[in-house]
A and B are shown apart, each in its own frame.
Chain A
Amino acid sequence: MDASILKAINAERRGRRAVIVLTDLADGSSQLIREGEPIASEFRDAVEAAFRTGKSGTIDVNDQSWFLNAHLPPPRIVVIGAVHISQALAPMAKIAGFDVEIVDPRTAFASEERFPNVALYPEWPEDYLKRRPLDTFAAVAAVTHDPKVDDLPLQAALETGCFYVGALGSRKTHAKRVERLREAGLNDAQISRIHAPIGLDIAAASPAEIAVAILGDIIKALRTRGLAPVQMELAE
């Protein structure tokens, strides 16, 4: 592998962008594929699957063996609201392999006693986002019920293209939220990406069960996510 490819892989990883290294196992020559870059048709299915699953593997194309090494950033869940649901969601999400961060300016809620061993940000989302900006490998779950806290990070998540954006609240609450987000300048396509009511419909009846529904919803969004659009077509 060429050192320039290694440097490019590391730069993409530092920037929390997905990248795949395609290596010809006959001679060791490698190329780097960024999400959204055009892919030769014989590799397209395998490359797209690897971008979604993060799984690396060998494939045979044109009687040759190739190795696809997928480097996906660790997905991060940002929970807006240090509520009961979050207390159940944080440990479960960690077990499932997510980095979890909890944001809530209400210090009585965002306390270490309620959230042991969790990255806790007892501050306004606005301040948190300045230090910890969102990216496409972040999921945002807003669960405070309070527009003062929830609206701004929801807007930021939609503008960033986070792979999952969910908001707690009844359909009536959500209808009002949609009005506010429209007034804030978001278009309907963006707003329609919000999962509301939040979580898979599993008839969850307790905060812990709602946390299961949210986590399942987030995993589904991650593994079926729409890949970045291809920037230009390959000349055939």
Chain B
Amino acid sequence: MHTAKDETRDPLDAAEEWLGEGRSVALATVIETWGSAPRPVGSQLVIDAEGNFLGSVSGGCVEGAVVTEALDVIDSGQPRMLEFGVADETAWRVGLSCGGRIRVFVERLN
């Protein structure tokens, strides 16, 4: 179940709060963009082990896929590099059809 909480909250503040509550948390960061990517480099999304997320890496295009990957990262503790773009069939399916490509780094907060 993926539910977006209050979008006006700052993801890093939320991450600290969630960790304080004893939740497992992953952080996803846009580290590179090409073309007309919807969110700038440095944009962040935080995800907990229940699939709750807050923030944005693409304005809604690929968040679902990032959350799924983040759950694996929370499990394994191994950071992961994701790439989405129009050339990528998965990305097309999840909706980054705006002509841009992005790379997203997903890591667990320890």
**A: which residues have CB within 8 A of B?**
1-3, 6-7, 9-10, 13, 23, 25, 27-28, 55-58, 67, 69-70
Contact = CB atoms under 8 A, between A and B. Distances in A.
B13 A10 contact: yes
Interface residues of B, number: 19
B91 interface: no
The binding surface of chain B is classed by DSSP as mixed
A6 B81 contact: no
B19 A3 contact: yes
Interface in B3-40: 12-13, 15-16, 19, 27, 29, 31-32, 40
Interface of B: 12-13, 15-16, 19, 27, 29, 31-32, 40-42, 79, 81, 105, 107-110
Contact of B109 (A3, A58, A70): A3
Contacts of A28: 79, 105, 107-108
Contacts of A25: 31, 79, 81, 105
Contacts of B32: 57-58
B41 to A, nearest CB: 5
A7 B41 contact: no
A10 B16 contact: yes
A6 B12 CA distance: 7
Contacts of B13: 10
Contacts of A27: 79
Contacts of B27: 1, 6
A192 to B, nearest CB: 35
